[in-house]
């Protein structure tokens, strides 16, 4: 179903006379439905780089970088320390408004597409999923915490970098494969696609899709939040009833 081309999303108009390329995007789906059998999903972005007679001639080929940012949330990080002979949590950091899913897709390593300065300017790279540290937070501790956060989120699959996530079908036609893990949070996902040529950014376009629970899972999640008392009573009754049933079924004496 999600393979269907749903909607062409954004086609930005060019601003200047000597025209730059235009970028047209389409997503394989606008909504990823979480049902009882959900174990992760894939969303494909189709992109077409449009040029006409007035477009500047390019010598090199196009490079594509897709940055996907999921809904934001709060992450609490703990650090253990030694107290005598036992290990306990000695300090913690709370990071709010952090994207709970963040991924960067390209057809080749980022470093060979654009240099360090350019990456900084365009905010391309996994390290940009966190807001830049403010001077007062720039302590020795803060670095350790930020690196640990990057590392741990990467291990959890919430932070990915895929150098083979973009496929060039033709020199001006590409697809980007977004892989959502099973634990992908529900909410709005923004896809930010940049085309570059020989390290120069040419154009950026955006698209988005939504991950949401549907059917039974949506019903349960809503009930738990909005009808907490009935939901709790139902769970307790279910537990008691099943316990009683097992007792009757297994009764021998």
Partner 1 sequence: MQLYLPIAELPLNLFLLLGMGGAIGFISGLFGVGGGFLLTPLLIFVGVPAPVAVATSAAHIAASSVTGALTYWRRNALDLKLGTVLTIGGLLGTLAGVFFFNQMRRLGHLDLVITLAYVTLLMSVGCLMFVESIGAMLRQKAGKASPIRKAGDHVWYEKLPLTMRFPRSKMSTSVIPLAALGLVIGFIGTVLGIGGGFLVVPALIYFFRVPTSIVVGTSLFQILVTMIVATLLHAIVSQAVDVLLALTLVVGGVIGAQFGTRTGQALKGEQFRLLLAMLILIVGIRFALDLVAAPADRFSINATELER
Q: Interface with partner 1 by CB under 8 A: which residues? A: 34-40, 71-82, 85-89, 92, 96-97, 100, 144-145, 148-149, 151-153, 156, 158, 182-183, 185-187, 213, 216-218, 220-221, 224-225, 228-229, 231-236, 238-240, 242-247, 250-251, 253
**Closest of 221, 225, 197 to residue 211, by C-alpha:** 221
Q: Between residues 71 and 118, which has the closer beta carbon with respect to partner 1?
A: 71
Residue 59's φ and ψ, nearest 5 degrees, are -90, -40
Q: Between residues 122 and 126, which has the closer beta carbon with respect to partner 1?
A: 126
Q: What does the block give as tokens for 104?
A: 């960067």
Q: Between residues 8 and 214, which has the closer beta carbon with respect to partner 1?
A: 214
Nearest approach in angstroms of CB 97 to partner 1 is 7
**Cβ(195)–Cβ(20) below 8 Å:** no
Dist. CA 113–CA 111, nearest whole Å: 5
Nearest approach in angstroms of CB 37 to partner 1 is 7
Nearest approach in angstroms of CB 137 to partner 1 is 17
Strand, coil or helix: 163: coil
Q: Between residues 11 and 216, which has the closer beta carbon with respect to partner 1?
A: 216
Strand, coil or helix: 17: coil
What's the burial of 71, exposed, middle or buried (CB within 10 Å: 0-12/13-18/19+)? middle
Dist. CA 23–CA 13, nearest whole Å: 9
Nearest approach in angstroms of CB 104 to partner 1 is 20
Nearest approach in angstroms of CB 8 to partner 1 is 30
Q: Between residues 41 and 66, which has the closer beta carbon with respect to partner 1?
A: 41
Dist. CA 75–CA 98, nearest whole Å: 7
């Amino acid at each position: 179903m999600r393979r269907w081309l749903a909607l062409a999303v954004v086609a930005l108009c060019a601003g200047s006379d000597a025209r730059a390329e235009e970028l047209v995007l389409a997503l394989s789906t606008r909504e990823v439905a979480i049902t009882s059998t959900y174990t992760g999903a894939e969303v494909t972005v189709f992109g077409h780089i449009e040029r006409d007679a007035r477009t500047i001639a390019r010598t090199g080929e196009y490079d594509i970088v897709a940055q996907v940012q999921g809904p934001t949330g709060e992450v609490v990080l703990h650090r253990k320390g030694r107290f005598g002979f036992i290990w306990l949590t000695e300090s913690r950091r709370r990071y709010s408004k952090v994207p709970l899913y963040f991924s960067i897709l390209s057809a080749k390593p980022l470093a060979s597409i654009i240099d360090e300065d350019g990456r900084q300017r365009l905010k391309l790279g996994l390290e940009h999923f966190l807001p830049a540290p403010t001077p007062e937070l720039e302590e020795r501790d803060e670095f350790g915490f930020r690196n640990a956060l990057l590392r741990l989120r990467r291990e959890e699959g919430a932070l990915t970098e895929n150098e083979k996530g973009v496929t060039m079908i033709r020199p001006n036609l590409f697809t980007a494969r977004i892989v959502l893990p099973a634990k992908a949070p529900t909410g709005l996902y923004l896809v930010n696609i940049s085309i570059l040529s020989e390290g120069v950014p040419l154009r950026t376009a955006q698209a988005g899709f939504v991950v949401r629970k549907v059917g039974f899972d949506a019903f349960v999640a809503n009930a738990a939040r909005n009808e907490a008392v009935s939901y709790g009573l139902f769970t307790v009754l279910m537990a008691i009833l099943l316990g009683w049933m097992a007792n009757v079924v297994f009764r021998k004496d």
